[in-house]
Amino acid sequence: MILNVKDIPKELEKLDELQKDKNKIKNMFSRIKIDTLNVFVSINPIKIKLIIPVDMYDNDKKVLGIYPFGSQQKEVLNIKNKKDKLLYHLMDVGGYSNIPQESVSIKILDINYKDVKKLFRKEKIYKDLLNRYDDVVNRTDVIKVLIHNISDTVLYIKNSMMKNLFPQSYLDKEGKSIYLFNNTDMNDRFRITYRTSGKSLFPIHEGEGPLYTNLYPGRFGNNSININNVKEISSKGQKKVKLLIKNMKTQNKTKKKSHKTKKKRTIKI
């Protein structure tokens, strides 16, 4: 049965009571009638991220400039997470994230930053990312590009709709998470990371465009998905992502082949 946008809150609240049944939530997401401007579902998207060099990680130092559109928000680049796993800190079109270095969902390409710039500048959504990376990292040699294969089904809703769809939503006492429903007796509920500031739980705009909230079947998400992020994971954006990855891999093979050829010549001499 196809679900209309107005039916999303009622269905999600029912699914909240099922606790950890992710498959039922995925199934529900796949039944939503897609409104490309306001609501859409992304299935197994691929994201391109630039790794902040590990020599910049410091548990006691806050770094400015990582977040998009001139944000003054600072981030601590911790060496490990709470589970004692080594981290990669990442910059992408959406802003900042981190991931365990041993994650099976990632692939890493070592590629000359000049080649990255040349490829990325063809797509407008990567302009802000390149500017931020230049300011924060300031490297011109080989960098690490991370390819993140997100094996999940993710629901995206424009923030301008969130207040009407989820009138019960509220911010927790710590000011870190938004709960969508007033079902406080439940331990495991839909919880959205509060990454913005101001009076609104779901700010409508940031920088050049609208903001979105995403929801994963694991009952988490965040309230600050920007328009560049949305464009990257759209069907059109994913075609461009795959082409960029293909071109980066080609560049990588060409460089390695050239390096081996030079090495052989040196040995012969």
Task: Return averaged pLDDT per consecutive 10 residues of the chain, 269 residues in all.
Answer: 87 75 87 84 95 96 91 92 97 94 96 94 92 92 96 94 94 91 74 87 86 92 92 92 94 65 54
To the nearest 10°, report the CA torsion of 50, 56, 60, 62: -50
Q: What is the pLDDT of residue 269?
A: 45
Q: What is the pLDDT of residue 257?
A: 62
Q: Rounded CA gap, 90 and 62, in Å?
A: 15
152 near 44, Cβ under 8 Å?
yes
Residue 129, exposed/middle/buried by CB under 10 A (0-12, 13-18, 19+)? buried
Q: How many helices (H) and strands (E) does the chain have?
A: 7, 16
Q: Rounded CA gap, 71 and 197, in Å?
A: 11
Residue 228, exposed/middle/buried by CB under 10 A (0-12, 13-18, 19+)? buried
Q: What is the pLDDT of residue 34?
A: 79
Task: For residue 131, give the nearest of 67, 221, 87, 56 by alpha carbon.
Answer: 67
pTM of the model: 0.85
Q: Phi/psi of residue 224, each to 5°? A: -135, 45
pLDDT, tens only, 192-230: 999 887 789 999 988 768 999 999 998 899 999 999 999
Q: How many CA atoms lie within 13 A of 93 on its CB side?
A: 24
Distance between first and last Cα of the chain: 72
Q: What is the pLDDT of residue 228?
A: 92
**What ranges do the domains of the chain cover?**
5-44+154-229, 46-151
Q: Are strands 191-193 and 220-222 parallel, antiparallel or unpaired?
A: parallel
User: Which residues fall within 8 angstroms of residue 1, CB to CB, at 6 or more apart?
Assistant: 31
